[in-house]
Amino acid sequence: MGTSAAGWNHPKVIVVMPAYNAAKTLKITYEAIPHQTVDQVILVDDGSTDKTLEIARELNLTAFMHTRNFGYGANQKTCYTEALKEGADIVVMLHPDYQYDPTLLPEVIAPIKAGEADIVLGSRFLAGNTVGQGMPWWKFLGNKFLTQMENWALGLNLAEYHTGYRAFSRRALEEIPFTLNSDKFVFDQEMLVQATHLGFRIKEVPVPTKYFPEASSASFVDSVIYGTSILMLLGRFLAHRISLVHLRQFQSFQSRYRRV
């Protein structure tokens, strides 16, 4: 499966921002986006209690609001659904906490524009010393362990699976049944398991990150819960792959947003 480069001289690129209490960093993140490369920016506010939505409207973003905090996965479901409705050819998910460098967006989408990949991950581990950049050592070790387990289960050789900087072709988002995924943080990993199982091509590009107090970061307890949910996901997937169970989550579908 892949997106042809033919007719892709001017694909519609939409950046989606899943936001929760991002008032302190939203503006600086938005202003760093190379807007000559982007056609539209969509922000989904997941029940923030600060001025995230107010700032998004001041910046003239296309903003959507959840009535309460539904979760990171639920936020992305809205992001991708609305981007497809807007006619996106390429969708870039960028956290509004300024942890990932927005100026690298052209490099992130380049493999999709060239027809070389369906999904691109901005990898922190290809960009140098992540611990030196501020990643806690326990998070580094947990990330490495989970990445090894995911590579083993999926037959891939990715540097990491847990980045918050991702780009998707329209076709990938139309065929991956992401609406069946969790509303929690494991959503990201479910999408990669689905994408691999359905034959989509995944490529990584190096993206350095920043760690500072305003940037979002999971606690140790949250990280343990997250890691456990990933191991459970891999167990479900392996059971599906050997036909012990049949799960709709790992079967392709054509969404109602596919263009004829």
Question: Looking at the domain assignment, is residue 254 inside a domain?
Answer: no
DSSP assignment, residue 93? E
Confirm whether 50 is domain-assigned: yes
Domain with residue 114: its CATH number is: 3.90.550.10
Q: Answer for the pair 110, 168: CB distance below 8 angstroms, yes or no.
A: no
**In the chain, how many H helices and how many E strands?**
8, 7
Residue 22 resides in a domain: yes
- Beta bridge partners of residue 40, listed in sequence order: 14
Residues 13 and 102 sit within 8 Å (Cβ to Cβ): no
Name the β-bridge partners of 209: 100
- Would you say residue 120 lies in a domain? yes
Cβ-contact 73, 183 below 8 angstroms: yes
Q: How many structural domains compose the chain?
A: 1
Q: Is residue 213 part of a domain?
A: yes
Question: Taking the CB of residue 156, how many other CB atoms lie within 10 A of it?
Answer: 13
Q: What length does the chain have? A: 260
121 is in which domain, residue-wise?
A: 13-247
Whether 201 is covered by a domain: the verdict is: yes
- CA diameter of the chain: 52
Q: List, for residues 11-43, the tens digit of each pLDDT value.
A: 999 999 999 999 999 999 999 999 999 999 999
Task: Work out the percent of the chain whose per-residue pLDDT is above 70.
Answer: 87
Q: Which of 7-21, 128-142, 191-205, 227-241 has the lowest mean pLDDT?
A: 128-142
Amino acid at 173: L
Residue 5 lies in a domain: no
Structural domain contains residue 216 = yes
pTM score of the predicted model: 0.88
| pLDDT the model gives residue 251 | 86
